[in-house]
Chains A and B, each alone.
Chain A
Amino acid sequence: MRKPRVPPELAASRGSRALLYAYASIIILLVFVVGLAYRGDLELKELAGERRVDFERNIAEQGAALTRVVFALEELLVAAAGEGWRVEPAPLAELGRSLVNHARIPMQIEPSSLEGLLGDDPLFLAERLEVSNRVYESRIGRLESLLDAAEAALGEDLASGAGVASGAALGKGEAQGGPAALAALEAFLAEVRVFLPELKERSALSMQVAGAYHAANRANLAHIDEHIGWNLVELSALSALLVLVSVLIIRARLAAERELKAHKARLEAEAEVRNEELGAANESLLEALAAKDVLIKEIHHRVKNNLSMVASLISLQRDYAGPGAAEGAFEKLGERIQAISLIHEKLYRSADLSRISFGDYAAELVESLRSSLCADPEAVALDLEFEEARFAPDLLLPLGLVVTELVTNSLKHAFGKEGRGRIRLSLAPAGEEWLLEVGDDGTPPADPKAILESSSLGSVLVQSLVKQVKGSLALDLSGGTNFAIRFPRNPAEGGA
């Protein structure tokens, strides 16, 4: 009924382990993926930080450049106003050119570059930067053209001899250029005076832009940090959830396994109880069987004793009857009863109550007949040859009576007065039949026919008994008297 397969509890635990491994793999994979994302976030943050630093440095540099310009211009104005024109016009023009070039740097801050960075722009930076850029550009343009004009005038003055050669009158309180150059430089310086407060405002503006950028970046970085934090929270929550689910599933599976084991144990216990009950029943059956055997043996024993008692009574009756025809009759009757009695004795002595060995029985029967019928039993030799065969009492009884009749006949009539001779008895299989031969080597009867066709009790009995076993009888008188009885070989009877 049961096919060989993996025991269910083992299969279940294998399944749980596989599930556990699967969940562990998923969690590791998840950690790996989120770890990658986290690394990406960190890189993004680093990049944002670098950009911030770059931009802030850029703006700070611009602020510093503006401050330098402011200080240089102030020095220029102080020199022009306080000390008079004691500096050479050419270096003055050169200084002016350098200042203008420096002042150009902050123009690089374009409002569009700050788009999305200023947020809600509480300092109005975009608007102010745009205005400032416009004013600043026109101012620088004007300063440049004034400077160009001053330089041109200076060149003309020097060429026409109106100016003094470079360095000749330094510190003498005299102007170094001609009137045209001086006038042009005055105009340039007047423009510088107007430019100065604008430049200061510009400087402050660039610092404010840097502040706005810094604030925006800080918010951005805070946002990235928050994002990273949420990622970690999500990862933790997800992992915890997975672990929880795994634990729940594995617990459920383990519970199922336990249930299965308990069920199996219950079934085994039930089977055990049933086996015990069956064993007990078998035992009582065996006891009953043994009791029955004892009973049957006891019956056979009593039958045998009763038959022996009957035989003894017949023997007593024979002695009482005295010599005559009746003596022989009683003797024969006694021998026949003895043959039956022997069967019962064999039965109660044998282990198998249903079958008796023909050889054992026949040998004892013939021996008993010889002892009781021969004056000198030693004078008659017995030639016995049996194939092993065990027959049921139904078959054995007629066979035993046949043997009794024929052997008695031989012992009484074949060996004459000396009583010396040989009795042959054999049983052998012959094809589908058994062949029972009974004979002697004595003098055969004068008229063979008389034997078979005699109406004597012995003859009638033998023929009747042979018919009872569905057999046939044959007589052979060569070298003595030999009977051959063939009877069918019933497979149930057993055999050689």
Chain B
Amino acid sequence: MREDDRQLGRIPLAAIGLLACLLCALAPAGGFAEAAQPSPSALSVRIAGGDKAPLLLDEEAIKALPQRSFTTLDPWDGKIHEFSGVLLSVLLEKAGAPAQAAKITVTARNKYTIPIRRSDCEKYGYLLAWKMDGRPFGDDKATRNRGFASIAIDFTGRPELDPELYKHQLVWQVSEIVVE
């Protein structure tokens, strides 16, 4: 842990990026800290407008689900990586998402929020990834900011998915998924 702290101190501001900056800025504002927020190594899948309790998933629970992986471009660093994790569609099914639900909203720990079409999830095999190139996120400084889990999309062989646009759905530090 001490070693990790030392490394964290050395991360340049630019590498952390806008997301990290905004995340830091949240602390003094204070208004967004909610009691129900999951711990950093867990996330919740919630069905909007229902009485059903959110599905809370920690690391162990996610690792226990069926795993998938693919190798593709990461638009944020412009390199090819292998991503491994659980299909979003599997998660949604496990949470009991109704068939007619067409949209999900993924929120990051810093409240960055982006909508995703459910059809895209199914069609393109969106992944809730927790490993990159065979190593869990956070094993080195390059993946530390991705949090426990982040969204990955397989761009390989899909010219209709313009990385310039879809990269905005590659949410890091996923904390909540809401099915609408």
Contacts and interface: CB of A to CB of B under 8 A. Distances in A.
B16 interface: no
B57 to A, nearest CB: 25
Interface stretch (A211-219, A448-456, A487-495): A211-219
Given A196-B29, A200-B22, A211 B168 contact: yes
A66 to B, nearest CB: 11
Interface string B149-180: 00000000000001011111100000000000
A207 interface: yes
Nearest to B24: A74
B115 A124 contact: yes
28 contacts: A67-B18, A70-B22, A70-B25, A74-B25, A74-B28, A122-B117, A122-B120, A122-B169, A123-B115, A124-B115, A193-B29, A193-B31, A194-B31, A197-B111, A201-B113, A203-B18, A204-B114, A204-B168, A207-B168, A208-B114, A208-B168, A211-B162, A211-B168, A212-B165, A214-B164, A215-B162, A218-B162, A218-B164
B70 interface: no
A77 interface: yes
A74 B23 CA distance: 12
Interface centre among A77, A122, A197 (most CB of B within 10 A): A122
A78 interface: yes
A332 to B, nearest CB: 142
A77 B28 contact: yes
Interface in A192-237: 193-194, 196-197, 200-201, 203-204, 207-208, 211-212, 214-215, 218-219
A204 B112 contact: yes
Contacts of A128: 115
Contacts of A212: 165
A81 interface: yes
Interface centre among B25, B103, B113, B117 (most CB of A within 10 A): B25
Contacts of A81: 28
Given A207-B168, A219-B162, A123 B114 contact: yes
Contacts of B169: 122-123
Given A122-B165, A212-B165, A218-B164, 7 more contacts: A67-B18, A74-B28, A81-B28, A193-B31, A197-B29, A204-B114, A218-B162
Given A123-B114, A128-B115, A211 B165 contact: yes
Interface string A396-438: 0000000000000000000000000000000000000000000
B29 A77 contact: yes
B165 A208 contact: yes
Given A74-B25, A123-B114, A214 B165 contact: yes
B91 to A, nearest CB: 19
Contacts of A70: 22, 25
A8 to B, nearest CB: 62
Interface in B110-152: 111-117, 120
A193 B28 CA distance: 10
A196 B28 CA distance: 12
Interface centre among B165, B167, B168 (most CB of A within 10 A): B165
B164 to A, nearest CB: 5
A122 to B, nearest CB: 6
A124 B113 CA distance: 12
Contact of B168 (A123, A196, A200, A219): A123
Contacts of A74: 25, 28
Interface string B23-35: 0010011011000
Interface centre among B32, B112, B164, B169 (most CB of A within 10 A): B164
Nearest to B166: A122
